[in-house]
A and B are shown apart, each in its own frame.
Chain A
Amino acid sequence: MSATNVNEVRKAGVEPDEWESLKAYTNARIALGRTGISVPLRESLQFKLAHAHAKDAVYSALDLSDLQKQLAQCGLPVYCVRSQAMHRDMYLQRPDLGRLVDEHSVETLRQLNRPAVDLSIIVADGLSATAITQNAGLVVHGLVDKAKQAGYSLAPIVLVEQGRVAIMDVIGRLLNARLAVILIGERPGLSAFDSMGAYMTYAPRPGLTDESRNCISNIREQGLRPVLAVDKIMDLIRSAFRSQLTGVQLKEDSNADSLPT
């Protein structure tokens, strides 16, 4: 339905609110107007559209071959793995399975038999593959460049399907990395369905919990722009190596944003 059609619908019995000027102060859905005591159709449809974007994002899938090609341009090998959550509905109901790497993938990573490295970069769909499709490429490229400049050694990049945040600790350990970073799709809201989060753990190993991690969230063009996110992540990585830890105890660098998650 075009905007003009929606506006025509609005003419039928819809009363706008007198305080529409207050919309300048908040993105909340205020001053929606009314027909009787109900929400006008135009607003009802806009809400539905935002919810549709969020639902589509939750059920979106990673385009693995495309992403693999994109990420391979960094000059690092790229491996695809799966969590133990076989499909989306299982993933949604069993967060425990989304934190575990499936057996076949464990074997793949183990056979790499990699020497110890500084940094493992992991990319997972999380709750919005859309967020990864839109933001991960830029951030991975930026991170790899800056990490190389800083002299950090890098593990192969790992792409995860049906992954939760804590899967980073399993993968980081398998790849013998001193620090793991995961870029993961965040739970879509009505205002943003394409937000990516970045989590970091020092000395990754299975069994760590949220207080051992640092997080940067809302990475997207309209939020924390990917180029700026790269700088923030690098700041956190540097201070993590300096302090030899991540999590609530990590002291903030001047530019770093080390919110506990």
Chain B
Amino acid sequence: MAYSYTIGGFTYRFDTLRELLAKATPLRSGDALAGLVADSYEERVAAQIALADVPLAVFLNEAVIPYETDEVTRLIIDTHDKAAFAPISHLTVGDLRDWLLSDEADTSTLHQLASGLTPEMVSAVSKLMRNQDLILVAQKCEVVTRFRNTQGLRGRMAVRLQPNHPTDDAKGIAASIIDGLLYGSGDAMIGINPATDSPAATSRLLCMLEELRERFAIPTQSCVLSHVTTTLQLIEQQVPVDLVFQSIAGTEKANASFGINLSLLQEAYEAGLSLKRGTVGTNLMYFETGQGSALSSGAHHGVDQQTCEVRAYAVARAYQPFLVNSVVGFIGPEYLFDGKQIIRAGLEDHFCAKLMGLPMGMDICYTNHAQADQDDMDTLLTLLGVAGVNFIMGIPGADDIMLNYQSTSFHDALYARRVLGLRPAPEFEDWLLRQGIIDQQGNRLSSPIQKQLYTAWVG
């Protein structure tokens, strides 16, 4: 089906929904690299005006990637909840934007709607929204998940403690963990990116995290971010696996480049469940995503990078994840060039995931060849804190010495919690208070546990 809009006698034509979505996307370098962007500022707005008039029902009939050739499309269509969609089935994309911002769309209404929305509908509506719209609607969504503690409650913001080390040195990692815990981080998880993805190295790190967590009775969960096949192997060997990690993307071909497919993810999810390690809930999958991943593996099928990204959330949604993380600025300036593009993408990713019912957090980050700096991260952190982000990263001094990029620090998390009145996950907050690491106001204290923690581990 073709779409068009006429401005001053000139008619812009968009041959497919895929093309319309791409041309309506706020400018970013990845879509330019893929040759998908609007040719002018006017064409972009023309596409947005045309997109606003597209009925949502069209999205159920015109797939951006064919049903026959892509299992992610099949997942999206086959699991679409028609009953949940019914109340908005008469709306256009533009109507949906106005309705989402209305007072009628409250937390419970949005919760019920989630399974009736396809990723393409969500991506489409986000393209018509300003940053403040993305923040306002995301803030109305509340997505709560549980494993060993509770994530996503209103007024809370958790932190993934990311203690990476270039050689996976146990003491080096422990030093960063202790630093983070004593700054009140680690409630989302203690999650290590291993320098080597070998079963032996992963197992060693998991056992170390298990020992630390048990010894100090920390109500959190651990994760070593190995490939899902490595984790599956370790589960079979009874290694203590809490969260099951995998990077995912929004097309079958891009997932294949990650060495995964939907049935492998299902197998990993079931294996994780079989361990029965969650104490307050059974959400255990941890997914990472990021705009540009499909294009970087040549697997985007002419679909803009943001729509590909939201399709990855449909993949995540199938496995009731504990947390999902968009590593927004990690992939580099060829996909998101500068602070402006990173901030916009971060707000889009968070909004789209929340609207689809996902426990969304964000690695608010950039690489040194992107035109961004810590000021941009402060801005995005503050905006996402306002929007109700489930969790952020906590990295010593915001400088990851293994992955060589900059994110947010333990101090940054304390800043966001303080200026926005946010608190850690409840079970973890109780632990911090009991240990005397923080007081009721979130101020950091000096306490005997500090010495105990660091002498026990490296002393």
Contacts and interface: CB of A to CB of B under 8 A. Distances in A.
A228 interface: no
A18 B165 CA distance: 22
Nearest to B296: A95
Contacts of B443: 37
A196 interface: no
Interface in A94-110: 94-96
Residue among A28, A29, A31, A96 with the highest chain B CB neighbour number at 10 A: A28
B454 to A, nearest CB: 5
A25 B178 CA distance: 12
A219 B442 CA distance: 44
B175 A58 contact: no
B454 A189 contact: no
B74 interface: no
Contacts of B368: 51, 54-55, 57-58, 187-190, 193
Interface stretch (B57-65, B229-237, B313-321, B403-411): B403-411
B207 interface: no
A92 interface: yes
A94 B446 contact: no
A18 to B, nearest CB: 6
A187 B366 CA distance: 12
Interface string B278-292: 000000000000000
A38 B400 CA distance: 19
B179 A19 contact: yes
Interface string A43-63: 100011011001101100000
B33 A96 contact: yes
Interface stretch (B10-18, B92-100, B166-174, B421-429): B166-174
Contacts, number: 127
A22 interface: yes
A28 B396 contact: yes
A30 B444 contact: no
B395 to A, nearest CB: 8
B131 interface: no
A111 interface: no
A127 B369 contact: yes
A187 B369 contact: yes
A26 interface: yes
A92 B335 CA distance: 10
B349 to A, nearest CB: 20
A17 interface: yes
A148 to B, nearest CB: 36
B401 A19 contact: no
B398 A25 contact: no
Interface string B133-150: 000000000000000000
Interface in B38-94: none
A116 interface: no
B401 A28 contact: yes
Given A19-B182, A39-B409, A58-B369, A30 B415 contact: no
B444 A25 contact: no
B261 interface: no
A107 B158 CA distance: 58
B373 interface: yes
A19 B180 CA distance: 12
Interface string B328-345: 000001100100000000
A25 B163 CA distance: 12
A28 B163 CA distance: 8
B159 interface: no
A39 B182 contact: no
A37 B169 contact: no
B391 to A, nearest CB: 18
A241 B169 CA distance: 36
B29 interface: yes
Interface in A61-104: 92-96
A173 interface: no
Contact of B334 (A30, A50, A93): A93
Contact of A93 (B33, B171, B175): B33
Contacts of B398: 29, 47
A95 B442 CA distance: 45
A76 to B, nearest CB: 31
Contacts of B409: 29, 39
A104 B76 CA distance: 49
Given A25-B172, A28-B396, A51-B368, 10 more contacts: A19-B175, A19-B450, A25-B175, A28-B401, A38-B411, A43-B397, A93-B33, A189-B405, A191-B399, A191-B401
Interface of A: 17-19, 21-23, 25-32, 34, 37-39, 43, 47-48, 50-51, 54-55, 57-58, 92-96, 127, 187-191, 193
* Top 3 closest pairs, chain A to chain B, by CB: A29-B397, A189-B404, A26-B172
